[in-house]
Chain A
Amino acid sequence: MAVRLFSEAFDPWSVVREREQELPMEKLGAASVFVGRMRDFNDAQEIHGMFLEHYPGMTERELERIVAEAESRWPSITCEVAHRVGSIDPADTLVLVAVWSAHRVAARDACAEILERLKHEAPFWKRERLSDGSERWVEKNTPGH
Protein backbone atom coordinates (compact mmCIF):
# COMPACT_ATOMS: atom_id res chain seq x y z
CA MET A 1 0.00 0.00 0.00
CA ALA A 2 1.42 3.38 -1.00
CA VAL A 3 -0.39 5.60 1.53
CA ARG A 4 -0.72 4.93 5.26
CA LEU A 5 -1.97 6.84 8.30
CA PHE A 6 -0.64 5.92 11.75
CA SER A 7 -2.48 6.80 14.96
CA GLU A 8 0.49 5.57 17.04
CA ALA A 9 4.23 6.27 16.80
CA PHE A 10 5.86 4.54 13.83
CA ASP A 11 9.41 3.87 12.67
CA PRO A 12 9.84 5.36 9.18
CA TRP A 13 12.88 3.19 8.45
CA SER A 14 10.87 0.01 9.14
CA VAL A 15 8.22 1.24 6.69
CA VAL A 16 10.96 1.82 4.08
CA ARG A 17 12.55 -1.60 4.72
CA GLU A 18 9.20 -3.43 4.55
CA ARG A 19 8.36 -1.74 1.25
CA GLU A 20 11.78 -2.50 -0.20
CA GLN A 21 11.21 -6.21 0.42
CA GLU A 22 8.36 -6.05 -2.15
CA LEU A 23 10.22 -3.96 -4.73
CA PRO A 24 12.54 -5.01 -7.58
CA MET A 25 15.54 -3.30 -6.00
CA GLU A 26 17.84 -4.40 -8.85
CA LYS A 27 15.89 -1.98 -11.08
CA LEU A 28 15.73 0.93 -8.64
CA GLY A 29 19.05 2.72 -8.63
CA ALA A 30 17.84 5.65 -6.54
CA ALA A 31 15.78 6.17 -3.40
CA SER A 32 14.94 9.59 -1.99
CA VAL A 33 13.52 9.58 1.52
CA PHE A 34 12.17 12.51 3.53
CA VAL A 35 11.37 12.06 7.22
CA GLY A 36 9.69 14.94 9.07
CA ARG A 37 9.70 14.90 12.88
CA MET A 38 8.00 16.99 15.50
CA ARG A 39 10.21 19.81 16.84
CA ASP A 40 10.02 20.93 20.46
CA PHE A 41 10.10 24.60 19.36
CA ASN A 42 8.09 26.78 17.00
CA ASP A 43 7.85 30.57 16.69
CA ALA A 44 10.39 30.96 19.53
CA GLN A 45 8.27 28.94 21.98
CA GLU A 46 8.72 25.55 23.54
CA ILE A 47 6.23 22.99 22.29
CA HIS A 48 5.43 20.10 24.63
CA GLY A 49 3.13 18.14 22.37
CA MET A 50 0.83 18.29 19.43
CA PHE A 51 -2.51 16.99 18.20
CA LEU A 52 -2.85 16.34 14.49
CA GLU A 53 -6.45 16.56 13.38
CA HIS A 54 -7.42 15.27 9.94
CA TYR A 55 -10.42 14.68 7.71
CA PRO A 56 -10.92 10.90 7.62
CA GLY A 57 -11.63 9.75 4.11
CA MET A 58 -10.53 12.90 2.36
CA THR A 59 -7.03 12.61 3.84
CA GLU A 60 -6.44 9.21 2.27
CA ARG A 61 -7.98 10.33 -1.03
CA GLU A 62 -5.81 13.43 -1.18
CA LEU A 63 -2.61 11.53 -0.42
CA GLU A 64 -3.49 8.93 -3.05
CA ARG A 65 -4.26 11.67 -5.57
CA ILE A 66 -0.97 13.47 -4.88
CA VAL A 67 0.96 10.20 -5.30
CA ALA A 68 -0.98 9.29 -8.49
CA GLU A 69 -0.27 12.70 -10.01
CA ALA A 70 3.44 12.36 -9.22
CA GLU A 71 3.44 8.88 -10.78
CA SER A 72 1.92 10.26 -13.96
CA ARG A 73 4.49 13.09 -14.09
CA TRP A 74 7.43 10.76 -13.34
CA PRO A 75 6.23 7.37 -14.67
CA SER A 76 9.31 5.49 -13.43
CA ILE A 77 8.74 6.14 -9.71
CA THR A 78 7.39 4.02 -6.86
CA CYS A 79 6.17 5.85 -3.74
CA GLU A 80 5.41 5.23 -0.09
CA VAL A 81 3.79 8.00 1.98
CA ALA A 82 3.01 7.70 5.70
CA HIS A 83 1.61 10.33 8.06
CA ARG A 84 0.85 10.44 11.79
CA VAL A 85 -2.48 11.58 13.21
CA GLY A 86 -3.66 12.10 16.80
CA SER A 87 -1.53 12.91 19.85
CA ILE A 88 2.15 13.38 19.09
CA ASP A 89 5.29 13.86 21.21
CA PRO A 90 8.44 15.80 20.24
CA ALA A 91 10.80 13.71 18.06
CA ASP A 92 7.93 11.50 16.82
CA THR A 93 7.88 11.05 13.07
CA LEU A 94 5.11 13.12 11.49
CA VAL A 95 5.60 12.28 7.84
CA LEU A 96 7.51 9.90 5.60
CA VAL A 97 7.82 10.37 1.84
CA ALA A 98 9.91 7.70 0.11
CA VAL A 99 10.37 7.59 -3.65
CA TRP A 100 12.27 4.96 -5.62
CA SER A 101 13.29 5.28 -9.25
CA ALA A 102 15.82 3.99 -11.72
CA HIS A 103 17.68 7.30 -11.59
CA ARG A 104 18.29 10.00 -8.99
CA VAL A 105 16.61 13.05 -10.53
CA ALA A 106 13.09 11.59 -10.72
CA ALA A 107 13.37 10.18 -7.18
CA ARG A 108 14.61 13.45 -5.70
CA ASP A 109 12.25 15.77 -7.60
CA ALA A 110 9.17 13.61 -7.01
CA CYS A 111 9.96 13.33 -3.28
CA ALA A 112 10.17 17.12 -2.95
CA GLU A 113 7.01 17.66 -5.00
CA ILE A 114 4.94 15.13 -3.04
CA LEU A 115 6.04 16.65 0.27
CA GLU A 116 5.22 20.24 -0.76
CA ARG A 117 1.83 19.26 -2.15
CA LEU A 118 1.04 17.22 0.96
CA LYS A 119 1.83 20.22 3.16
CA HIS A 120 -0.49 22.53 1.20
CA GLU A 121 -3.29 20.21 0.07
CA ALA A 122 -3.76 17.23 2.40
CA PRO A 123 -6.34 17.98 5.14
CA PHE A 124 -4.26 17.88 8.34
CA TRP A 125 -4.22 20.55 11.05
CA LYS A 126 -1.64 20.92 13.84
CA ARG A 127 -2.61 22.05 17.31
CA GLU A 128 0.36 22.73 19.56
CA ARG A 129 0.53 22.36 23.34
CA LEU A 130 2.82 24.93 24.99
CA SER A 131 4.83 24.66 28.21
CA ASP A 132 2.20 26.56 30.22
CA GLY A 133 -0.47 24.06 29.20
CA SER A 134 -2.19 26.38 26.72
CA GLU A 135 -2.86 25.25 23.16
CA ARG A 136 -2.78 27.00 19.79
CA TRP A 137 -3.57 26.08 16.19
CA VAL A 138 -0.74 26.37 13.69
CA GLU A 139 -2.11 28.95 11.26
CA LYS A 140 -0.16 27.98 8.15
CA ASN A 141 2.81 26.06 6.82
CA THR A 142 5.72 28.26 5.83
CA PRO A 143 6.34 27.87 2.09
CA GLY A 144 9.71 26.40 1.25
CA HIS A 145 11.05 26.01 4.81
Chain B
Amino acid sequence: MTINVQYFARLREDLGRDSDQVAATEGIGTVADLWRHLHREAPPPRLMVAVNQSHARLDSAIADGDEVAFFPPVTGG
Protein backbone atom coordinates (compact mmCIF):
# COMPACT_ATOMS: atom_id res chain seq x y z
CA MET B 1 0.00 0.00 0.00
CA THR B 2 1.07 3.56 -0.57
CA ILE B 3 0.28 7.09 0.51
CA ASN B 4 -0.61 9.33 -2.42
CA VAL B 5 0.66 12.88 -2.07
CA GLN B 6 -0.57 15.82 -4.14
CA TYR B 7 0.74 19.38 -4.46
CA PHE B 8 -1.14 22.43 -5.69
CA ALA B 9 -0.57 25.95 -6.98
CA ARG B 10 2.71 27.70 -6.12
CA LEU B 11 3.93 24.74 -4.06
CA ARG B 12 3.49 22.42 -7.07
CA GLU B 13 5.50 24.84 -9.23
CA ASP B 14 8.24 25.29 -6.62
CA LEU B 15 8.62 21.50 -6.25
CA GLY B 16 8.42 20.89 -10.00
CA ARG B 17 5.89 18.06 -9.69
CA ASP B 18 2.24 17.59 -8.82
CA SER B 19 2.42 14.34 -6.85
CA ASP B 20 4.53 11.80 -4.98
CA GLN B 21 3.89 8.24 -3.96
CA VAL B 22 5.31 6.99 -0.68
CA ALA B 23 5.39 3.45 0.65
CA ALA B 24 3.67 3.51 4.03
CA THR B 25 6.27 2.72 6.68
CA GLU B 26 6.30 2.80 10.48
CA GLY B 27 8.25 6.04 10.57
CA ILE B 28 5.42 8.00 8.94
CA GLY B 29 2.69 8.47 11.53
CA THR B 30 1.61 12.04 10.91
CA VAL B 31 1.36 14.56 8.11
CA ALA B 32 4.50 16.31 9.41
CA ASP B 33 6.40 12.99 9.34
CA LEU B 34 5.34 12.52 5.73
CA TRP B 35 6.57 16.00 4.74
CA ARG B 36 9.95 15.45 6.44
CA HIS B 37 10.29 12.02 4.83
CA LEU B 38 9.69 13.49 1.36
CA HIS B 39 11.48 16.82 1.60
CA ARG B 40 14.15 16.31 4.31
CA GLU B 41 13.18 19.52 6.10
CA ALA B 42 10.50 20.93 8.39
CA PRO B 43 7.20 21.91 6.75
CA PRO B 44 7.26 25.58 5.60
CA PRO B 45 5.16 28.20 7.44
CA ARG B 46 1.55 28.70 6.30
CA LEU B 47 1.47 25.28 4.64
CA MET B 48 -2.09 23.92 4.39
CA VAL B 49 -2.85 20.22 4.33
CA ALA B 50 -5.75 17.90 3.57
CA VAL B 51 -6.09 14.19 4.28
CA ASN B 52 -8.58 12.34 2.08
CA GLN B 53 -9.87 15.68 0.79
CA SER B 54 -10.69 17.12 4.23
CA HIS B 55 -8.70 19.86 5.96
CA ALA B 56 -6.15 18.41 8.38
CA ARG B 57 -3.21 19.52 10.50
CA LEU B 58 0.48 18.71 10.59
CA ASP B 59 -0.11 16.46 13.60
CA SER B 60 -3.00 14.60 11.94
CA ALA B 61 -2.46 10.84 11.71
CA ILE B 62 -2.14 9.21 8.30
CA ALA B 63 -2.55 5.62 7.22
CA ASP B 64 -2.08 3.28 4.29
CA GLY B 65 -3.98 4.35 1.21
CA ASP B 66 -4.55 7.93 2.34
CA GLU B 67 -4.56 10.82 -0.11
CA VAL B 68 -2.57 13.68 1.41
CA ALA B 69 -2.49 17.11 -0.22
CA PHE B 70 -0.16 20.02 0.55
CA PHE B 71 -0.94 23.52 -0.65
CA PRO B 72 -0.43 27.24 0.04
CA PRO B 73 -3.15 29.42 1.61
CA VAL B 74 -6.29 29.30 -0.53
CA THR B 75 -7.35 32.38 -2.54
CA GLY B 76 -10.77 31.65 -4.04
CA GLY B 77 -13.93 33.73 -4.03
Contacts and interface: CB of A to CB of B under 8 A. Distances in A.
Contact of B69 (A52, A58, A118): A58
B27 interface: no
Interface stretch (A11-19, A102-110, A124-132): A124-132
B74 A139 contact: no
Interface string B33-76: 00000000000000000100111000000000000010111111
Given A53-B9, A61-B53, A137-B9, A119 B76 contact: yes
Given A57-B53, A119-B74, 19 more contacts: A53-B8, A53-B9, A55-B6, A58-B54, A58-B69, A61-B53, A118-B76, A118-B77, A119-B75, A119-B77, A120-B74, A122-B76, A125-B9, A125-B74, A125-B76, A139-B72, A139-B75, A141-B75, A141-B77
Given A58-B69, A121-B55, A123-B50, A137 B10 contact: yes
A94 B69 contact: no
Given A55-B8, A55-B53, A121-B55, A36 B71 contact: no
Interface residues of A, number: 28
Given A55-B8, A137-B9, A122 B74 contact: yes
A125 B8 contact: yes
A27 interface: no
A27 B10 CA distance: 46
A124 B73 contact: no
Contacts of A39: none
Nearest to B8: A55
A5 to B, nearest CB: 11
A58 B69 CA distance: 10
A123 B48 CA distance: 10
B76 A95 contact: yes
B77 A125 contact: no
Contacts of B72: 125, 137, 139
Nearest to B76: A124
Given A123-B8, A137-B10, A55 B69 contact: yes
